A and B are shown apart, each in its own frame.
Chain A
Amino acid sequence: MILNRHCQLIRWMRGCNRVPFNTYTFLIFFIVLLIIYHSVKNWEYQKTVLLIASYLFYSAWNPLFVLLLIFSTMVDWLLARKIFQAQTKSTKKWYLVISLAVNLGLLSYFKYGNFLLENSIILLGLFNIDFKPASLDIILPVGISFYTFQTLSYTIDTYRGKIQPSKSFLDYALYVSFFPQLVAGPIVRANDFLPQCKTPRNTSVDQFGWGLSLLTIGLFLKIIIADTILAPVVDKVYAAPEYFSSLETWTAILAFSGQIFADFSGYSTAAIGASLCLGFVLPDNFKAPYAALGFREFWQRWHISLSTWLRDYLYISLGGNRISSIRTSINLMITMLLGGLWHGASWLFVIWGGLHGLYLIIEHFITQRIKLEKPLSKMTQVLLIVLTFLIVSLTWVFFRAESLQDVITIFSNLHKSSSSHKPQFEGFELILALSTIVLLVSWHITTKKSSLETFFQKQHGIIKGLILTLMIMAIFLFASGDNRAFIYFQF
């Protein structure tokens, strides 16, 4: 029971979505905002419009939790100033501790409260102590993991002397609550965002057009690739894995790799696009992760804003690789275990993080001992990329399965004989899902050293127009009906 995934991941799969970009509500909200924002000429007023819009955007999920967002914003705004003004190192440290306690305390209560309670009951049960407290029934405030990490980075960077606290509360509040990245990232650093608040953001026509293009591409990834092509295969197999053959299970495992990428990078791309339409530049969050050669590179390309956050504020704080080889391994493992837990209150996420920690340690061990005399051949590189992708895909099973029992069933399916098995899918569904994955990985390998923007810029205007028209047409044709939440909203 303790290893069951409980409700979080299941909720998004059943459509319990939270203020996503793929809704008519967002479309209208965004159009109205663009008109108002670009009509106002005073920069301070423009930022105020954005701040109000961001709070409205958040209220559209649950108006009460805006207060929590404002509370978190105010606490770190004040503490960062106190840290900056403090004369002694120990005073600075105390203010930082308060910031950590408040932020992590809130995160622990809202995100891990139920999880901790359930585990306490089980732990006490092992000592024959019958502890039956009332259920906490805590609602997880959407995006709390993202904005908590942003506010924490602000106070830690102030403590480390990397940044000076913002003089404008409006700028800082906008940094924390800027709606495109508020509920599912990217996790933006203060020194990336706050300087942009100092001068008016003059959105050029090209920038605006590219922003709309990114918004379209992001929605296409989410609605068409993740929800329409891949999710049906994944959902069906993971709902009752015991009924599926080896081929079907393999397809679902690979399809989930594609689904989670298209879902999460789709959201990030849409967020970056929406920001660009308002003149703000957000950092890239994904850079062809399935073209990674090894796990270190994978984490440099997957959810970059989270992995760099964990590196800068956890791994390095623990000592990083500066102490000893064993200590480096321990630090890597702690970072990845907590990184896993950040994704949700479930032991399966912890196992998933732990496995990635293990892969990183093994890779670290190998690269420390084997020094290549000449670069790897293209063929070997491709083979290693495919191997990395396969291991990453198999590890996603822990991320997606609903219980440890399902994980075991899925892995035992992988070498199950298919001869007497009654197919559960139309051949077309599997072929489409597999083709999508092959295309996705090939696309990542092809664009490993470039970017989406470079690819688009190279195209003729008519080709660009045609691609975007087809994407919008596909979105129109498939957008209605079952509305699936973006996977990463649960984090």
Chain B
Amino acid sequence: MIWLGILAVIFSIVAFFEWHIRSLGWSPSVVDSPDLWVEQRKKASALGDKALILVGASRMQLDMDTQVLREKTKLEPIQLAIDGTSYLPVLENLANDPQITGTVLVSVNAYNMRQGIPKDTSVQWVNYYEQIKNRGIEPYRLINNKIKAWLNNSLVTHLEGAKPYTVVSKLAFTQKTAGNYLITHADRSRDADYKKVQMPNFYAARLQRHFGRAVIKDAKTFDEFFSAYQQAIKSTPVAGRPEFIKNLKHLIEVSNKIEAHGGKVIFIRFPTSKLVWEVDNKRYPKEKFWRVIAEKHPRSVNFSDYEKLKKFNAPDGSHLDYRDKKEFTTSLVKILKLK
């Protein structure tokens, strides 16, 4: 009887905190870690031609719905995109692995072809994978990791792998907040809920980061802020081509290497909107840059070439809201099937 009472009390306390913290706006989310990435990377080799490997950065993680991909392509999506980093180290790593014979979707645009540098997360995670790929893992640890991932994915008291004490003490006794706008799932795909962020502040911050520098420091209104950026974009020069050509050549070589051992590589230019799109288009005009990419690698999809992809609006200028990703992915898969 004592034990039944204890279990009932514990269950009630945990259930209360789960309900309470969720009611404050927080949702369960796992922490995107090197171990989680390595787990996906190993699957990419093991699945062979059944793998649909996603390579890129935040857009690949936020815009693609892995469930839709699984249903529509009958392939197993492997999310290898890494937020805020160069995708080339990952693509090179895949190219050097003859077991990679699946379809590889790469988030490509004219300005993100630079090669990885040692401090890049992608370089570090790839190195970590190379170090441990042949190392056995104790069966109990494997099971434990799966249970932990499931708990982190299901319970908000295990938010991002933190100790429940940390989550409860930091979140349960605060006022209602917007909560976490970004959720990472156990398969490393992500959802962004832009209704949880303050707009247009969030978009303004994204624009400034994307532009690369602060154009105006003491804007009194957002109108003033955005018009300052509009002016700055107009006077932005077109990027030089030699570096682009050199990087593209390397990208094509790496892609050809994957295709040589049976894989299939498709480049995707994901949607950007508003002034973020204008920055991209001004610095890297489609005619001068994307046209070359598409010529060199015909299996390429640019969102702006398709009405069904063009219609999506990125609330922060750069990424889709999670409410749009299902429809976006469904439309994209139809186009990809033609490639």
Contact = CB atoms under 8 A, between A and B. Distances in A.
A28 interface: yes
B2 A19 contact: no
Of A59, A464, A472, A476, chain B has the most CB atoms within 10 Å of the CB of A476
A61 B138 contact: yes
B6 A478 contact: no
Interface string B135-170: 000111101100110010000001001111100100
A24 B148 contact: yes
Contacts of A477: 163-165, 168
A473 B17 CA distance: 12
B163 A478 contact: yes
Contacts of A478: 163-165
A212 B163 contact: no
A481 B163 contact: yes
A209 B138 CA distance: 31
A23 B146 CA distance: 12
B322 to A, nearest CB: 26
Interface in A469-491: 469, 472-473, 476-481, 483
Given A25-B144, A25-B147, A461-B2, A480 B161 contact: yes
A465 interface: yes
B172 to A, nearest CB: 11
B5 A465 contact: yes
Interface stretch (B7-15, B108-116, B327-335): B7-15
A252 to B, nearest CB: 23
Nearest to A483: B144
Contact of A472 (B6, B147, B151, B168): B6
A62 B163 CA distance: 28
B3 interface: yes
B138 A480 contact: no
Given A28-B147, A212-B3, A478-B165, A473 B139 contact: no
B3 A209 contact: yes
A212 B7 CA distance: 12
Contacts of A19: 138, 140
Given A24-B147, A24-B148, A480 B164 contact: yes
A60 B10 CA distance: 29
Interface in A186-212: 209, 212
Contact of A473 (B3, B13, B140): B13
B139 A59 contact: yes
A156 to B, nearest CB: 33
Contacts of B147: 24-25, 28
Contacts of B13: 473
Q: How large is the interface on B (under 10, 10 to 19, 20 to 34, 35 or more residues)?
A: 20 to 34
A406 to B, nearest CB: 28
A63 B163 contact: no
A74 interface: no
B292 to A, nearest CB: 49
B5 A480 contact: no
Contacts of A480: 148, 151, 158, 161-164
B145 to A, nearest CB: 9
A468 interface: yes
Nearest to B139: A60
Interface in B53-109: none
Contacts of B168: 477
A25 B148 CA distance: 10
- Name A's interface SS: helix
A301 interface: no
A481 B163 CA distance: 6
Contacts of B10: 469, 472-473, 476
A18 interface: yes
A473 B13 CA distance: 9
A194 B140 CA distance: 29
A396 to B, nearest CB: 28
Given A473-B13, A477-B164, A480-B161, A60 B140 contact: yes
Contacts of B141: 25
Contacts of A59: 139
A106 to B, nearest CB: 21
Given A212-B3, A461-B2, A480-B163, A25 B158 contact: no
A274 B59 CA distance: 49
B161 A481 contact: yes
A461 B14 CA distance: 23
B68 to A, nearest CB: 31
Contacts of B143: 24-25, 28, 60
Interface in A1-28: 18-19, 23-26, 28
Given A18-B138, A461-B2, A476 B14 contact: yes
A24 B147 CA distance: 7
Contact of B2 (A24, A61, A209): A209
A77 to B, nearest CB: 27
Interface string A372-407: 000000000000000000000000000000000000
A480 B5 CA distance: 24
Contact of A465 (B2, B140, B162, B163): B2
Interface in A263-315: none
Interface string A243-266: 000000000000000000000000
Given A476-B14, A477-B165, A480-B163, A63 B9 contact: no
A172 to B, nearest CB: 26
A491 to B, nearest CB: 18
Interface of B: 2-3, 5-6, 9-10, 13-14, 138-141, 143-144, 147-148, 151, 158, 161-165, 168
The 8 closest A-B pairs by CB, nearest first: A60-B140, A477-B165, A24-B147, A25-B140, A25-B143, A25-B144, A481-B163, A465-B2
8 contacts: A18-B138, A25-B141, A25-B143, A28-B147, A62-B138, A476-B164, A478-B163, A478-B164
Given A469-B10, A472-B6, A477-B163, 10 more contacts: A24-B143, A24-B151, A25-B140, A26-B140, A59-B139, A465-B6, A477-B164, A477-B168, A480-B148, A480-B164
